Amino acid sequence: MSKPRETAVYTHGHHESVLRSHTWRTAANSAGYLLGSLRPDMRILDIGCGPGTITADLAALVPQGHVTGVDRAPGVLEQARATAAERGLGNVDFAVADVHALDFPDDTFCVVHAHQVLQHVGDPVRALREMARVTRPGGYIAVRDSDYAAMTWYPASPGMDDWLDLYRRVARANGGEPDAGRRLKAWALAAGLEDITATSATWTFASPEERAWWSGLWADRTLASAYADRALEGGHATEERLRTVSAAWRAWGERADGWFSVLHGEILCRKDG
């Protein structure tokens, strides 16, 4: 019997404008809800590790333990390996994997972590069951996902309203759920998990530097990433519409009163046993 494969398409791809965001992520700004549960000797699986910045941070926090980072995209793992090597970390390795069918035995890891992953997968409930399978009894399943419908900004911008509508339609056409943050607890319950702590946290971009960085990467992503290709190929937008949305991002970034907040849902689930 063949293993199940992910049915969703990763909406963003790995264009430079996407990795610009991913390499900014740290354990502190993206996994704070988990850090208090870590011990120095834990074995951790980091699913959807991308360029490996969070993975490397986790490895530094478990110096007597080990971290395995996995991703579906082989190319980005080369960058992850380089990140770990630059930091001199010897307790981390990387591999290609599908969250729906992990190539690890039952009860392998103390922590199974996924940041911004379930919003992109074909079956998040099955993914959570698989994450729980490879977690040791007494260990943790830790998941954090943004919630696009809950993102908010100031001042109002029709072009950015259009961006949000467009992004959510493209993500759903690709088989994902962009409003994943609010659904994490429900998905965990459906997966049979019971000891669930559900929290939320935000990223906020308001200073001139933050606005320039956040608006710039989305302006570029709207025109040049896999998301842009899928918006065009799927008939969701024209090139003119994408240019208008990109310009709206840059205009927002130039506003001295500009403010943007990204809401994330979080779940920390302890496996029975």
pLDDT (tens digit per residue) in 217-257: 999 999 988 888 999 999 999 999 999 999 999 999 999 99
What gap in Å lies between CA 106 and CA 125, rounded to an integer? 17
Report the half-sphere exposure of 248 (CA within 13 A, side-chain side).
19
What's the farthest any 2 CA atoms get from each other in the chain? 58
pLDDT over 70 at 15, yes or no = no
pLDDT over 70 at 17, yes or no = no
Percentage of the chain beyond pLDDT 90 is 86
pLDDT over 50 at 5, yes or no = no
What is the pLDDT at residue 4?
40
User: Are the C-beta atoms of 265 and 52 separated by less than 8 Å?
Assistant: no
pLDDT over 60 at 210, yes or no = yes
pLDDT over 60 at 1, yes or no = no
What is the pLDDT at residue 160?
97
pLDDT over 60 at 53, yes or no = yes
pLDDT over 70 at 8, yes or no = no
Contact residues for 273 (Cβ-Cβ < 8 A; gap 6+): 136, 137, 138
What is the pLDDT at residue 25?
94
Q: By three-state DSSP, how is residue 153 classified?
A: strand
What is the pLDDT at residue 224?
86
Query: What tens digit of pLDDT does each residue of 143-175 get?
Result: 999 999 999 999 999 999 999 999 999 999 999
What gap in Å lies between CA 217 and CA 213, rounded to an integer? 6
Tell me which DSSP letter residue 50 carries: T
pLDDT over 70 at 95, yes or no = yes
Neighbours of 16 (CB within 10 A): 11
List C-alpha distances in Å: 129 to 64, 124, 189, 196, 201: 28, 9, 10, 14, 24
How confident is residue 20, by pLDDT bands cut at 50, 70 and 90?
low
User: Are the C-beta atoms of 267 and 142 separated by less than 8 Å?
Assistant: yes
What pTM was computed for the model?
0.93
pLDDT over 70 at 21, yes or no = no
Query: What tens digit of pLDDT does each residue of 116-149 get?
Result: 999 999 999 999 999 999 999 999 999 999 999 9
**Closest by CA position to 14, among listed 97, 81, 80:** 80
Neighbours of 149 (CB within 10 A): 12
